[in-house]
Amino acid sequence: MTYFIGIDTSTTATKALLIDTEGDVQGVASSAYDYETPQPLWSEQHPDLWWQATVDSIRQVLADTGISGEQIAGIGLTGQMHGLVLLDANQQVIRPALLWNDQRTGAECDEIRERIGAQRLIEITGNDALTGFTAPKILWVKNNEPHNFASIAHILLPKDYVRLKLTDTFASDRAGGAGTLLFDIKTRTWSPEVTSALGIDPSWLPSTFEGTAVTGVVSKIAADATGLRIGTPVFGGGGDQAANAVGTGAVSEGIVALSLGTSGVVFATTDAPLIEPEGRLHAFCHAVPNKWHLMGVMLSAAGSLRWYRDTVAPDMAFDDLLAPAADIPAGAEGLVFLPYLTGERTPHPDPLARGAFIGLTVRHTQAHMTRAVLEGVAFGLRDSLDLMRSAGLATIDQIRISGGGTRSTLWRQIIADILDTELVTVNSVEGAAYGAAILAAVGAGQYPDVATACDAMITVTGRTQPSGTDYAKQHAVYSALYPALKDIYPQLG
C-alpha cells in the first residue's frame, strides 16, 4: 500500500493528515502553538514553531497508524496565507514572521496604491491593497526596520518555510503566490511591474509551481527528523482556502465552496481569471492547475451566532436557542440583523462597520432575534455571490457547505433560500489538509487530474433545496442599510 500526507500549517497548529489511495483518512495528528501580539494590531510567530510542529505531527501520525515512512508516496502542503517570512543569505530567520491577521500596514497599503495606481493594482493582482497581504508587510519592514530589510535574501510564505526545511528548496505554489499582492494572476507568476514599483528584488522570491507539481524531495536531514523516506516528493499544494476547496471537491466552475465558520468564506472556481472591478472580491490562482478562483470573506458568520448566544442566552445550547426560530416567518416580521461585529471585508472593506438589529418592536421576541441573526448572516454570504455574478461568473449550480454552522438544519434551509441554490454537504471534513493530500496523490500519478480524484474520493452526504421562500423585500432592506449607516460608524468609533 502507498499513502499520502497533507500538512496544514495554520495559525494555531500544524496538522498532518494521512490518506490511502482511495482517499480514506487513516490518521490525523496535530501540534499546537501560539502567536504573539507584541503591540496593538501586530501578529507575529516564529517559523521554528511550524517546523517543530511539522516534525511532531508527521512522527505522531506515522506512529498512530503504524504506517512506515517508506510507504508515503508524496507530501502536499497547505497553510495560512499572506504571512511574511524573511531569511538572510544563510537561510536564517531575520525576524518573527508577520502573519495574515497583522494589521499594522495601513500606511503601506496607501503607499502601494499611490505607487502603482489603485485600479492598475487590481488589474494586475486581482486585489486591492489590504493590510493582511504580504506586499505591504515587506514595505513596513523597509520603512520601519531598515536593518532587517538590508539583510533580506529570501522571502517565503509560512508553508513554504516548512517546504524549505523538508526539501532544502525555495519554492511556492501559485495559489499562495497570488495571495501576496505581488503576483500577476493572468500570467500566474510574479509581476515585474509590481515588484519594480515597490522596490522588491525579484531574486528574493521563490520559483512558483502548480499545486500538483513536484517542488522538491525530502532531504536526509528532514527524513531523519520526521521518519519520512529520503527522496519522498513534496508537491506544490496550495493556500488554505484553495486546498480546502479541493478537499470539498469545489474544483470546477459552477461548484461553489461555502465555509460557515467564525468567518464566512464563499469560494468559486473559475476557468479564466475573473476580477471584480473594485477589488471587493479576492481573485487568486487556484491550487488546481490552470484554474482560478474568486473569494468573498465576511468576518462574522457563525461568529455572529456565537456572540448572540453568549450575550443573550449564555446557558442555552445552540439547538435549544434555534428551535423556536423555525416557527418565526421568513423576514422575522421586519427585524434585520447586520453581522458587522468585527468590521467587514466583503462587500464592504470597512474595519469601522458595526453590527446592529434594525426594526425592533414590542412584537419581537428572542426567537425573532435569533431568526434575524441567521438571516442576516445569509444575506452577508449572498453579497459575495452577487458580486461573483457581476464579475462574470456565469453559473452557480451547487454550493458545497462546510463548517460548524452547517449542523443546523434550519440555518442550512435559510441559506439555501436566500442564495436560491442547492446546498450539499460532503463526506470530507478535514478541509485544507485533505485537499493538500489529494493534490499530492494527483501529482504522484495516482489520478490523472484533480477533478477525477475529487470525484473518486468525495461523496455528497446531504442536500438542501431552496424552498421557494421569497426574501426579495427583506434583502433589499438589508442591502440599503450599510450605505445608510456607513457615515455614522466613524462617529461611534
pLDDT at 457: 95
- Asked whether the predicted pLDDT for residue 372 surpasses 80, the reply is yes
Rounded Cα gap, residues 317 and 280, in angstroms = 36
Every domain of the chain and the residues it spans: 3-242, 250-427+459-493
Query: In which band, very low, low, confident or very high, does the pLDDT at 342 lie, cut at 50, 70 and 90?
Result: confident
For residues 396-404, average pLDDT: 90
Tell me: the pLDDT tens digits for 432-489?
Answer: 999 999 999 999 999 999 999 999 999 999 999 999 999 999 999 999 999 999 999 9
Query: In which band, very low, low, confident or very high, does the pLDDT at 242 lie, cut at 50, 70 and 90?
Result: very high
Q: Give the CA angle between residues 431, 460, 419 to the nearest 5°.
A: 80
CB 16, CB 57: distance < 8 Å? yes
Query: In which band, very low, low, confident or very high, does the pLDDT at 295 lie, cut at 50, 70 and 90?
Result: very high
**Nearest to 84, CA basis, from 17, 13, 176, 18:** 176
In the block, cell 499594522 appears at: 104
pLDDT at 399: 95
For residues 288-315, average pLDDT: 94
- Asked whether the predicted pLDDT for residue 407 surpasses 90, the reply is no
pLDDT at 249: 94
For residues 379-390, average pLDDT: 95
pTM of the model: 0.92
Tell me: the pLDDT tens digits for 162-200?
Answer: 999 999 999 999 999 999 999 999 999 999 999 999 999
Query: In which band, very low, low, confident or very high, does the pLDDT at 262 lie, cut at 50, 70 and 90?
Result: confident
- Asked whether the predicted pLDDT for residue 41 surpasses 90, the reply is no
CB 457, CB 429: distance < 8 Å? no
- Asked whether the predicted pLDDT for residue 349 surpasses 90, the reply is no
Return the exposure string of 265-276: e unless at least 16 CB atoms fall within 10 Å of the residue's CB, then b: bbbbbbeebbbb
- Asked whether the predicted pLDDT for residue 18 surpasses 90, the reply is yes
- Give the distance, in angstroms, between the CA of residue 405 and the centroid of all CA atoms in the same chain: 17
| Interstrand relation of 398-402 and 356-358 (parallel, antiparallel or unpaired) | unpaired
Query: In which band, very low, low, confident or very high, does the pLDDT at 44 lie, cut at 50, 70 and 90?
Result: very high
CB 278, CB 265: distance < 8 Å? no
pLDDT at 250: 94
CB 131, CB 137: distance < 8 Å? no
User: Which candidate in 56, 160, 173, 240 is catalytic?
Assistant: 240
149's grid cell? 530589510
DSSP 80: -
pLDDT at 281: 95
Tell me: the pLDDT tens digits for 414-432?
Answer: 999 999 999 999 988 778 9
Query: In which band, very low, low, confident or very high, does the pLDDT at 3 lie, cut at 50, 70 and 90?
Result: very high
Tell me: the pLDDT tens digits for 63-97?
Answer: 999 999 999 999 999 999 999 999 999 999 999 99
pLDDT at 454: 96
**What region, left, alpha or beta, does residue 412 occupy, with left being phi > 0 and alpha being psi -120 to 50 degrees?**
alpha
For residues 208-236, average pLDDT: 98
Dihedral of CA atoms 415, 417, 422, 426 in degrees, nearest 10, equals: 30
For residues 273-288, average pLDDT: 95
Query: In which band, very low, low, confident or very high, does the pLDDT at 25 lie, cut at 50, 70 and 90?
Result: very high
Q: Which CATH architecture has domain 3-242?
A: 2-Layer Sandwich (3.30)
- Asked whether the predicted pLDDT for residue 261 surpasses 90, the reply is no
pLDDT at 414: 98
Q: Which position has the higher pLDDT, 361 or 40?
A: 361
Beta bridge partners of 367: none
58's grid cell? 508527521
Q: In which order are the strands placed within the sheet that holds 255-260? A: 282-285, 292-298, 264-270, 255-260, 398-402, 423-426, 460-464
Query: In which band, very low, low, confident or very high, does the pLDDT at 112 lie, cut at 50, 70 and 90?
Result: very high
pLDDT at 292: 97
Rounded Cα gap, residues 285 and 92, in angstroms = 29
pLDDT at 40: 86
Residue-averaged pLDDT of the chain? 95
In the block, cell 517542488 appears at: 215
User: Is residue 240 annotated as part of the catalytic site, yes or no?
Assistant: yes
Query: In which band, very low, low, confident or very high, does the pLDDT at 241 lie, cut at 50, 70 and 90?
Result: very high
- Asked whether the predicted pLDDT for residue 493 surpasses 80, the reply is no
What is 250-427+459-493's CATH number, 3.40.190.10, 3.40.50.300, 3.30.70.1710, 3.30.420.40? Answer: 3.30.420.40
pLDDT at 430: 79
pLDDT at 158: 97
CB 257, CB 250: distance < 8 Å? yes
CB 388, CB 294: distance < 8 Å? yes
Helix, strand, coil % (nearest 5) of the chain?
Answer: 40, 25, 35
Crossing angle (nearest 10°) for helices 106-116 and 118-125: 90
Q: For the chain, what percent of residues have pLDDT higher than 70?
A: 100
pLDDT at 439: 98
